[in-house]
Structure 1
């Protein structure tokens, strides 16, 4: 026992353990001997800005003296600003239930040409079904027929999806200083927001579109933290499983050309909801996601007897976003769900937590993520229904994927997002009862 105390003293630099854990392992607990009920109310503002350069694989002959197979380019900017309202309370000892409702003030997007853009980046000389457009040319820098207007903006907003959560602390350093705080939890995002229809015109800020994807999302996570003097390192791993809910959107829902008077948006409209092309096959396919983060809270000021605490929060972040057909950086411009390749996000966060009293805490943080390059229009051309080992791509073939668009899903015509970054600012307050 004396040896254990000596080790703990060395690890903590002689400082006593604080009663509170790192913010990432905070949990509401009830029916404790000295704490019959825990309740946290969190009110937070969150603003995320994503920027990316969108380039396109070469759609014509490579210019003389150039080895590039890509043409520049468009700038994409997306801004998501929301108010998060969250309620967490203890169901039992170290068992927490939480409820969160986001109010999305704006989910706006804008597309502009870069300074060195090529007109052909937004041009085409074929229709969605691959038939040529008469008298059209992309030679010599010609623009062809525009895929969408430039510059362009999209405006969305409204109530977001409701979240429900359960978390349990297997160990709590507050109760046993020889153990870390270890939490396992499940966050469920219910598809309660109104369906987002990408074919609807959202260029008018007075008539904002909806923000719901109609997908259930189950996030499993675990987190650890260990207070050692003024430092509290922590770790979190998470994985999100998407499951399509009722009322999912399908690109075949826009098969009526009156929805898109400028151009038909489907390569094989006649195959919609026939053969293998069911609503399940043609609907949204949200990506699975996983990630880990490592961080440390540095606590230079801590007065547990007064409930006062100040902490500097530093963390590194790594996420993986899988392949899927969903709403990406070009969906609102091209007016449909698009299939994106998988990609990684790497970055970090810097934040501060200040607690003026036991019942009130304020937090501010900035998060930066770099998104690796990925293709935005990568729909599969079809399915080998006949079993002969090849997909019959002839016009009228029942093997053609209705969502495949010959204008930009075909290799040598695809769009890619490069130099993509995201910055998020969070400001929140917690009331503890």
Structure 2
């Protein structure tokens, strides 16, 4: 036991041991014997930058029957916002929270990659209409005769506004400060309400006339997190899962059927109601693990490093992705993984004020950006046959972008995020 105490003393550099929760297990608590009311106010600036190379399948005939991909575009998206979060203890180790983001701007830009230009891009030299017919008789993409671009490049879109409100409830099942034999263990549920103005991808935007940022989808996130202070370190672990539920007024591409739909006449027919043709937000889940390390501990100042590894899964769905702003519609997107990490620093200036800063990097695995299914068997014949029953064609299916050998994919996709925030503790 004496050897163990010596090791602990060395780890803490002689500092007194105090079991305080890491950020992922922090819970506002009220009605404590020594603190009748607990509250946290977080005000932070967040800027997320995504950069993705967009590639396209090459026609099998042109590649010897082997699927290949041609580099087309660089996509960049920038999303700076101000986040307000309030957490109030409503009982011992029980917290009610509220959050609201203000999106200053959500700007997107598409430009050709270095080896592609207007003369060689299949986006510009396109001979098909969404229904699969030729733009003009005798259209030739190689001579650029009779072609119509999918969209013009370079291109920019501009959005912004107040984001979705968030409400949360968290319960600290165990609290190490109260019982040193147990870790900090939190169980929580967050609800994101679809309060933001609707994002309509078909609307042309400008810096003066920005579009909305809301998807009109209810999101329920369940999570649990554990941490335990061991000397100057506090390792932690968190898992989470988000279930989306389409809300009233959610967008459907059939709202504007003349923008990129192959068979708009099938909108609202049996089998193709708004539930089938509208947004299908992805399920998301993930985990993180890491540790906070207290590198400086004085009565008036505390410095803590925070390093974590992150892994997330995003399921397939039809939603706004890296090509939606250019094609002006929601797109069927393949599933993908996000892997990366975060490095942060916390500075506790006083019992009331703390400052935090962090940088996050995530790599997104390659995935499809345009992958609508052609249709579904509605007459029970056992197959989808558009020639026999045209009503079986998916209204969203676009022969220009969803047909095999014409689909677009996200490649070399990376997210960079910077967070700066102040926390007021009461």
**Interval containing the TM-score (normalised by the shorter chain):** over 0.9
Q: CA offsets, 1:269-312, max 9 Å, x none?
A: 11101110011111100000000001111101123xx3632100
Q: What SS does the corresponding residue of 1:252 show, helix, strand or coil?
A: helix
Q: 1:275 aligns with which of 256, 267, 270?
A: 270
2:150 counterpart of 1:155: no
User: Kindly tell me: are residues 8 and 223 of structure 1, through their superposed partners in 2, closer, same or farther at Cα, counting changes over 3 Å?
Assistant: farther
Residue of structure 1 equivalent to 2:386: 393
Judged with a 3 Å threshold, the aligned counterparts in structure 2 of structure 1 residues 12 and 219 are, in CA distance, closer, same or farther, namely farther
1:403-418 map, 5 Å: 403-418=396-411
* Structure 1 segments of 4+ aligned residues over 3 angstroms from their partners: 5-16, 139-144
1:34/1:404 CA distance change after superposition, 3 Å: same
- Pick from 281, 284, 295: which aligns with 1:286? 281
Structure 2 CA distance for aligned equivalents of residues 190 and 398 of structure 1: 35
C-alpha displacement of 1:26: 1.0
User: What is the distance in 1 between the residues matched to 2:58 and 2:356?
Assistant: 47
2:350 pairs with 357, 370, 386, which one? Answer: 357
* Runs of 5+ consecutive residues of structure 2 not aligned to the other structure: none
Deviation at 1:62, TM superposition (A): 2.0
Distance of 1:206 and 1:60 partners within structure 2: 44
Shift of the 292–91 alpha-carbon distance from structure 1 to 2, 3 Å rule, reads: same
The alignment's TM-score, normalised by the length of structure 2, stands at 0.94
Q: In the TM superposition, what is the alpha-carbon distance from 1:397 to its structure 2 partner? A: 0.5
For 1:238, the equivalent position in structure 2 comes to 240
The Cα shift of 1:132 comes to 2.0
Aligned-pair CA distance for 1:177: 1.0
> Is 1:50 paired with 2:50?
yes
Tell me if structure 2 keeps the 8 A contact 1:311–1:352: yes
5+ long unaligned stretches in structure 1: 258-263
Structure 1 CA distance, aligned partners of 2:359 and 2:406? 37
TM-score when normalising by structure 1: 0.93
What displacement does 1:21 show? 1.3
Secondary structure, aligned partner of 2:391: coil
What displacement does 1:20 show? 2.1
Asked if the contact 1:62/1:69 (under 8 Å) is kept, the reply is: no
2:35 paired residue number: 35
Give 2:319's aligned residue: 326
2: CA distance between counterparts of 1:32 and 1:173?
A: 15
Task: Work out which of the residue numbers 252, 257, 261 in structure 2 matches 1:266.
Answer: 261
1:109–1:155 CA contact under 8 A, matched in 2: yes
